[in-house]
């Protein structure tokens, strides 16, 4: 089953927002052992929507669209699809009922049968929207299928979850191919070094079991192997062999996870499992470390809190950093970093505390301590170690890299603690 | 000049990452009064890359590609482009020199003339990469242009900045059309209500001056007008008239900005201009408010810091929230929120402090205080007000909505303070 996504929206091609629905559709399809062939973005105009539909119908069995179903005048998807397929739009009782349900769910009054949501191209089904107001659409076209969802990511996702299997997947015979993607996540070794120096035969060895991919990430590389198999036994055997390759590879010490958890999910799980409390003293990361771990449900079990100490006065007042330390060594120094993590640990009574103080730029750098310099303090059970590092990038990238380094330090402490 | 982007990468169609380059290219083009016609994503396979090139060359004068130029075996862009255009790949001295410069810039040794980076399809130019190792590519093809950059967003961006104008824009006569996009940013009124109830003639009035768009955002709607004009005088006149429409519209009280700054940029500018210090006491947002304002360069001028008080002990110890308050009213209560903001303001000596305590879920909700409930405290010059609100969404969306509400409270205080 070849599936293509047509993203309809000026806001994406004008750079106002980034597309989130390609990723959502891909992840949804993966759960159903399906793949996304291609994703095409066009503007909210009849002519470009026609072009998009023509392109995707020539390549795919199933065309999914996102966007342009809303109530404003720049929402043209329904009209453009109808004219592309040569179908008339008219009032539909079933569409009225679907729209009414969507409004009732949010206890909002519905304008009634004149509302655009009640009008449907012939041969289409209106689909309930469990998270918004605009109904989705579904139809068959010359043995192929078209399913249309809203552009708002939350609504697009619920449309997939609520309707895609029933309306689309059920129309195709189940595939006999099985596949599973394994991700091996490494840290601190550049991509070129992994395959060019550390383990030059790794790629070819893995390629015997499926498609190999390499994705550089923040301070690490995710190596992916998409194993194809004929049945569950074959799959399990191939998976075992792939894992054995890594077990014997010189890259092994740099692997921090085999799996698809984010670094923060992995940390929260490990801290909760070992019941180790922790917190951050964040200067240049400005709360990003705390934000990342609290994105994970369950983090409150062991993450106690943080101090974002942007001003020197806050470092002194809340983290007990000595005024003399700030004066003699500077805000970005190993001494300050050490006192920050130690102070946080004492104030919050955490087993582990990690501090970050650095220069995210664009201003504030000096010859001695240029933009990208950061010092880290790691306090574990009262013992403190400090580190210094230097990273490239703009302010946003640096905040992310600093936070990634801090989370890697936290991970190392969690792994060696019991 | 019609410009199309071909994104090459399994990692995007497998949902491992989201595409960031469409947005980067769009924003870059806007600076040069150019527009992106379409964006197409395909997998790292010769056949799909061919399909993508065929599609885009049939629609566009300029094809930009991103991705697949790296050193690993899943990087096939150069080979696929060469076979599509029928060009042979061979060793190139100029390409060697470009690659050498890229490595020298990072003080990294370059493998030498056998490295894949030294090989170039005939008729191509290798382009220096100022932020990474893989050279970019440029060629002409039947009066059209092809420019290829790395997929890593930072490198793709620098390729555009370093080469796009010289290699591509300079080949076309300057356009006589002028356009300018104005964004009017509203808060707290849903899209359908703005155009269906508050100001039913707004859309048509604006449409006389250019393309109108409506983009629902977190707790607000961005109304865009893309004004097209023949010259600078015409543009200025049309812009004035568009702004007058909003000046007389009943939606006016909900407009918080005319412009393209993010909420956090707008807040940092305003706080710095008025020299008002502030900070956050964050519970359920876990540091997100602080992270957002510290993304803005210059925020350290007035943002002093925050306390992320996830555990009750931290609310009590660092924010002076009374144990009795936590016990009698609960962690998510107006009383706790008020003591949090008041405590933060006292501890950090900020003029304004905003606190957030709520339930981001998925667990932790009760019948009385379901997931999505949040209480806010706003302390300004020692005086505290509290608010309660309820939002829909999953954990990630709720953290974002809670932080947005907190930033809107902060903005209101900043606007009425001197």
Among candidate residues A300, A302, A327, the one with its CA nearest the CA of residue A315: A327
Q: What are the 10-residue block averages of pLDDT along chain A, 418 residues in total?
A: 96 92 95 93 94 95 96 92 97 95 89 93 96 95 97 94 95 84 94 93 95 89 92 94 97 95 97 98 98 97 98 97 97 98 98 98 92 98 97 92 97 95
Residues B153 and B275 in one domain: no
Last residue of a domain, one of B171, B201, B225: B171
Residues of A in contact with B363 (CB under 8 A): 297
- Cα nearest neighbour of B27 on chain A: A15
**Per-residue confidence (pLDDT) for residue B216, from 0 to 100:** 87
Q: Report the length, in residues, of chain A.
A: 418
| Domain span at B43 | 3-171
Digits of tens for pLDDT over chain B (418 positions)? 999 999 999 999 999 899 999 999 999 998 888 999 999 999 999 999 999 999 999 999 999 999 999 988 889 999 999 999 999 999 999 999 999 999 998 888 898 899 999 999 999 999 999 999 999 999 999 999 999 999 999 899 999 999 999 999 999 988 777 888 899 999 999 898 999 999 999 999 999 999 899 988 888 999 999 998 989 999 999 999 999 999 999 999 999 999 989 999 999 999 999 999 999 999 999 999 999 999 999 999 999 999 999 999 999 999 999 999 999 999 999 999 999 999 999 999 999 999 999 999 999 999 999 999 999 999 999 999 999 999 988 899 999 999 999 999 999 999 999 8
> How far does the CA of residue B250 sit from the closest CA of chain A (Å)?
18
Give the three-state DSSP class for A47. Answer: helix
| Helical (H) or strand (E) element with A334 | helix A334-348
Last residue of a domain, one of B233, B258, B283: B258
Residues A251 and A273 in one domain: no
What are the structure tokens assigned to B124, written together? Answer: 């191509």
- For residue B17, give every residue at least 6 positions away whose Cβ sits within 8 Å of its Cβ, in sequence order, or none: A23, A215, B11
- Cα nearest neighbour of B295 on chain A: A396
Residue B411 CA to residue B293 CA, distance in Å, equals 12
Residues of B in contact with A291 (CB under 8 A): 285-288, 291, 399
Residues of A in contact with B13 (CB under 8 A): 22, 26, 35-39
Residues A271 and A409 in one domain: yes
Strands B278-282 and B352-358: parallel
- CATH number of the domain at A249, please: 3.30.70.2860
Last residue of a domain, one of A258, A280, A304: A258
Interface with chain A: mutation pick from B5, B8, B14, B70, highest number of A CBs within 10 Å: B14
Residues of A in contact with B259 (CB under 8 A): none
> How far does the CA of residue A344 sit from the closest CA of chain B (Å)?
11
- Cα nearest neighbour of B226 on chain A: A14
Residues A198 and A166 in one domain: no
Residues of B in contact with A349 (CB under 8 A): 313
Residues B76 and B132 in one domain: yes
- Cα nearest neighbour of B28 on chain A: A15
Residues of B in contact with A59 (CB under 8 A): 51
Cross-chain Cβ contact B70/A203 below 8 Å:
no
Residues A146 and A51 in one domain: yes
Cross-chain Cβ contact B288/A287 below 8 Å:
yes
Residues A245 and A283 in one domain: no
Cross-chain Cβ contact B37/A18 below 8 Å:
no
Among candidate residues A5, A16, A9, the one with its CA nearest the CA of residue A159: A5
Residues A12 and A113 in one domain: yes
As for the ipTM of the complex, it is: 0.89
**Per-residue confidence (pLDDT) for residue B111, from 0 to 100:** 86
Residues B142 and B198 in one domain: no
**Per-residue confidence (pLDDT) for residue A173, from 0 to 100:** 87
**Number of domains chain B contains:** 3
**What is the sign, positive or negative, of the torsion defined by CA atoms of B260, B287, A340, B304?**
positive
């Amino acid at each position: 089953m070849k599936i293509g996504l047509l993203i309809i929206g000026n806001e994406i091609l004008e750079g106002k927002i980034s597309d989130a629905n390609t990723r959502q559709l891909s992840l949804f399809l993966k759960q159903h052992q399906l793949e996304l062939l291609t994703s095409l973005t066009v503007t909210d105009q009849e002519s470009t929507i026609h072009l998009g539909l023509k392109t995707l119908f020539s390549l795919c069995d199933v065309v999914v669209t996102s966007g342009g179903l809303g109530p404003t005048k720049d929402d043209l998807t329904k009209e453009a699809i109808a004219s592309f397929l040569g179908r008339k739009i008219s009032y539909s009782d079933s569409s009225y009922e679907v729209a009414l349900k969507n409004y009732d769910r949010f206890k909002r009054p519905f304008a009634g049968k004149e509302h655009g949501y009640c009008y449907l191209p012939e041969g289409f089904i209106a689909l309930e929207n469990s998270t918004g107001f605009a109904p989705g659409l579904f139809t068959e076209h010359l043995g192929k299928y078209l399913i249309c969802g809203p552009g708002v990511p939350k609504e697009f996702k619920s449309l997939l979850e609520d309707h895609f299997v029933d309306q689309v997947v059920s129309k195709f015979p189940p595939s006999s191919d099985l596949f599973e993607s394994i991700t091996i996540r490494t840290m601190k070794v550049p991509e070129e070094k992994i395959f060019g120096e550390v383990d030059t035969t790794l790629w070819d060895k893995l390629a015997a079991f499926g498609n190999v991919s390499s994705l550089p990430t923040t301070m690490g590389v995710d190596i992916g192997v998409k194993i194809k198999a004929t049945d569950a036994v074959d799959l399990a055997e191939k998976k075992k062999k792939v894992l054995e390759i890594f077990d014997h590879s010189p890259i092994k010490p740099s692997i921090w996870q085999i799996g698809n958890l984010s670094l923060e999910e992995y940390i929260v799980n490990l801290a909760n499992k070992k019941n180790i409390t922790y917190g951050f003293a964040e200067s240049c990361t400005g709360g990003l470390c705390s934000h990342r771990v609290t994105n994970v449900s369950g983090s409150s079990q062991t993450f106690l809190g943080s101090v974002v100490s942007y001003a020197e006065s806050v470092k002194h007042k809340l983290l007990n950093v000595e005024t003399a330390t700030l004066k003699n060594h500077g805000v970005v120094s190993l001494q300050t970093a050490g006192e920050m993590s130690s102070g946080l640990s004492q104030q919050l009574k955490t087993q582990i505390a990690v501090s970050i103080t650095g220069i995210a730029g664009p201003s504030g750098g000096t010859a001695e301590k240029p933009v990208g310099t950061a010092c880290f303090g790691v306090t574990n059970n009262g013992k403190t170690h400090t580190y210094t590092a230097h990273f490239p990038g703009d302010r946003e990238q640096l905040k992310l890299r600093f936070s990634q380094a801090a989370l890697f330090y936290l991970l190392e402490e969690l792994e060696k603690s019991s």
